[in-house]
Amino acid sequence: MKKAIQFSAVALLFIMAFSNVVMSQTASKATTASPKEFQAQWTKDNGFLMDIRTPEEYMTASIHRAKLCSFNDQNFGAILEMLDKNIPVYIYDQNGTNSAKAAEMMIKMGFKKVVILQGGLNAWQKAGLEVLNLKK
């Protein structure tokens, strides 16, 4: 009886340890990057740059080569489904609030790498990085 309990305890510990290894290998999470780190990583990865703000905000100021995929759009989830989940995605909003929500959604959908611009476009502009004004 004592050996059976010891064996069960060892087996349980092994299963717990193995499941932690598997979970750590498959679980992803979004990362945040300062404006300059964000720009450097995005350029190096040749990732997909996604502006998740409203169309009005996008037209006022946006980062060059950013594609508008508004988080508030009722089709946001459907738009994400069309993207290649293996390509790194770099997302930003105005101040970083909605980016965290969108990134969480993307990770749950299976995106491998999601990077959030810390502080959003406000921080990008404060860092002196270039933006486009499409309303001209």
Q: What are the boundaries of each domain within the chain?
A: 29-126
Q: Is residue 33 within 8 Å of 41, Cβ to Cβ?
A: yes
Say what the pLDDT of residue 1 is.
57
Q: Is the pLDDT of residue 103 over 90?
A: yes
Q: The whole model's pTM is what?
A: 0.78
Q: Is the pLDDT of residue 41 over 90?
A: yes
Alpha carbon distance 49, 51 (integer Å):
7
Say what the pLDDT of residue 22 is.
37
Domain 29-126: give its CATH superfamily: Rhodanese-like domain (3.40.250.10)
Alpha carbon distance 103, 115 (integer Å):
8
Say what the pLDDT of residue 2 is.
56
Burial of 65 (0-12, 13-18, 19+ CB in 10 A): exposed
Instruction: Take residue 28 and report the two structure tokens written for it.
Output: 């992803």
Say what the pLDDT of residue 23 is.
36
pLDDT, tens digit (0-9, with 9 covering 90-100), for 9-26 = 444 444 554 444 333 334
Instruction: Choose between 38 and 96: higher pLDDT.
Output: 38
